[in-house]
Amino acid sequence: MERRSLVVVGLGYVGLPLAVAAVRAGLRVHGLDSDPDRIHGLTQGLSHVDDISDEEVCEALDDGFTPTTDATCVTSADVVVICVPTPLRQSVPDLDAVCAAGATVAERLRPGALVVLESTTYPGTTTEILLPLLERDGSRAVGADFHLAFSPERIDPGNTSFSLTNTPKVVGGVTEGCTRAAAEFYGSIVDEVVPVSSPAVAEMTKLLENTYRQVNIALVNEMSVFCHELGIDLWEAIDAAATKPFGFKPFYPGPGVGGHCIPVDPGYLSHRVRTLGYPFRFVELAQEINNGMPRIVVSRVTQLLNDNGRSLRGAKVLLLGATYKADISDERESPCRVAAERLIAGGAEVTYHDPHVPSWHIGDRVLNSVPDPAEAAAAADMTVLLQAHSCYDLDHLVAVSRLFFDTRGRAAGKQVARL
């Protein structure tokens, strides 16, 4: 029996894990991407995604995975999943990649095929943007000539407990038949499928998940500012509150939020709400608070230096961590970069260490990660923990540092100042 054929359009942090998981599930998989360098690397067995190793790419290639820039692979696909980027441009969703992928698929779609959009977007995109492209002015009918659904990606880079396969997959089709087709497809790859009544509900599910995180992180970030002024250890208060077995989930302050999800996805929901004629004030306020955290970090660094007889200008400041999340190499929307830019603008002599980022572009500068963080900490006027990578021996780093500012609540000691 011939294996079912899948084309994954877009081989980034969402598409490549899906392609690898689908190959393991026995599907015949093409990975379609417009970046020839990315495709060349994959054909050589090289992964560009934290959660997928080179060995896993090689295994997928051996099992029939075909990375390509040739869109003709769509003509033989039973299923096409679109996983292209959806950035915000000046708070406006940029769906150019979705439209381009939709047009490419529409030209080559075989009768009866299933198309699924996984790219995060605002509610209504699947039916308002993608569906008309695929129907081609009425020459095709959804539910009869092809199936269409939305399924939000739930990839959490660096999470060793929950992967694509053991995280429930939400699917919402344009018709009941579309939902069944999408549920059947994902059911062959993941452990649990959660059908919902429409693509819009599935689209809203993703935005709700990340808006929930954005708002709660903003709450504790704002509390960290006034708790510092009040002389209250917010971290201790959060840990104490977390002992309550109901009605509370702990969130922790930090230097800001990063990645594609939390800083970007709620902006899609805010954009959609604004089209109705009013602002989504909760989200916009949360974004404002979280976007302001790198400024708070620099203010605290400046204050700590002043309290110890130093000014920011000319001070040697070591930054630990450049990525938006621990133990990954992903720098997308990382608040660490904004903090570094502000420190440099204030006259600090900034160095950094990150085991996952050998070089760091800060404005028009390129910094190289120092080889030994402890040696660099001993030479610096202040060490700032921006990302708590598991490789850091924080006790030793604190011991050798003159001043240690912890934005992640991981270090201990009398000489440690916390955000």
Averaged pLDDT, 254-270: 83
Query: Residues 286, 296: one domain?
Result: no
What pLDDT is attached to residue 159? 85
* Domain identity same for 115 and 176: yes
Q: What percent of the chain has pLDDT over 90?
A: 85
Residues 385 and 371 in one domain: yes
Q: What is the pLDDT of residue 2?
A: 63
Do residues 177 and 279 touch, judged by C-beta distance below 8 A?
no
Same domain, 176 and 203: no
Three-state DSSP class for residue 137? coil
pLDDT of residue 174 exceeding 90, the answer is yes
Number of domains in the chain: 3
Whole-number pLDDT of residue 279: 82
Residues 299 and 388 in one domain: yes
Residue range of the domain that includes 44: 5-197
Q: Cα-flanking dihedrals φ and ψ of residue 151, to 5°?
A: -140, 110
Distance CA 403, CA 393 (A): 16
Within 8 A by CB and 6+ apart from 276, the residues are none
Tell me phi and psi for residue 350, to 5 degrees.
Answer: -95, 130
129 and 10, same domain (yes or no): yes
Do 82 and 185 fall into the same domain?
Answer: yes
CATH number at residue 27: 3.40.50.720
Q: Specify whether 239 is located in the same domain as 224.
A: yes
Residue range 159-180: mean pLDDT, rounded = 95
**Same domain (yes/no): 278, 303:** no
Per-residue three-class SS string for 207-244: HHHHHHHHHHHHHHHHHHHHHHHHCCCHHHHHHHHCCC
Tell me which of 291, 323, 356 is where a domain ends. Answer: 291
Q: Answer yes or no: is pLDDT of 1 > 60.
A: no
Per-residue pLDDT averaged across 337-359, rounded? 96
pLDDT at 269: 81
Domain termination site, one of 242, 258, 291: 291
Domain edge (last residue) among 291, 320, 344 = 291
The answer to whether the beta carbons of residues 347 and 314 sit under 8 Å apart is yes
Confidence of residue 36 (pLDDT cuts 50, 70, 90): very high
149 with 239, same domain? no
- For residue 378, name the pLDDT band (cuts at 50, 70, 90): very high
Region 389-402 average pLDDT:
96
Highest mean pLDDT among 25-39, 76-90, 257-271: 25-39
Give the CA radius of gyration of the chain. Answer: 23
Same structural domain, 70 and 190: yes
Give the pLDDT confidence score for residue 262 in this predicted structure. 79
How confident is the model over 64-73, as a mean pLDDT? 97
Cα→Cα distances 277→32, 135, 272, Å: 39, 30, 9
Question: Which pLDDT tens digit goes with each residue over 86-113?
Answer: 988 877 889 999 999 999 999 999 999 9
Q: At what angle do helices 261-274 and 199-230 cross, to 10 degrees?
A: 120
Closest CA to 21 of 196, 187, 260, 259: 187
Other CB atoms within 10 A of residue 40 CB: 12
| Alpha-carbon torsion angle 118, 121, 126, 129, nearest 10 | -130
- Our answer to whether residue 73 is catalytic in this structure is no
Residue 266 pLDDT grade (very low, low, confident, very high; cuts 50, 70, 90): confident
Give pLDDT, residue 274: 84
Backbone angles phi, psi at 56, to 5 degrees: -65, -35
pLDDT category at 397 given cuts 50, 70, 90 is very high
What mean pLDDT do residues 239-246 have? 97
Q: Which of 99, 261, 336, 391 is catalytic?
A: 261
Same domain, yes or no, for 142 and 28? Answer: yes
Give yes or no for residue 195 having a pLDDT over 60: yes
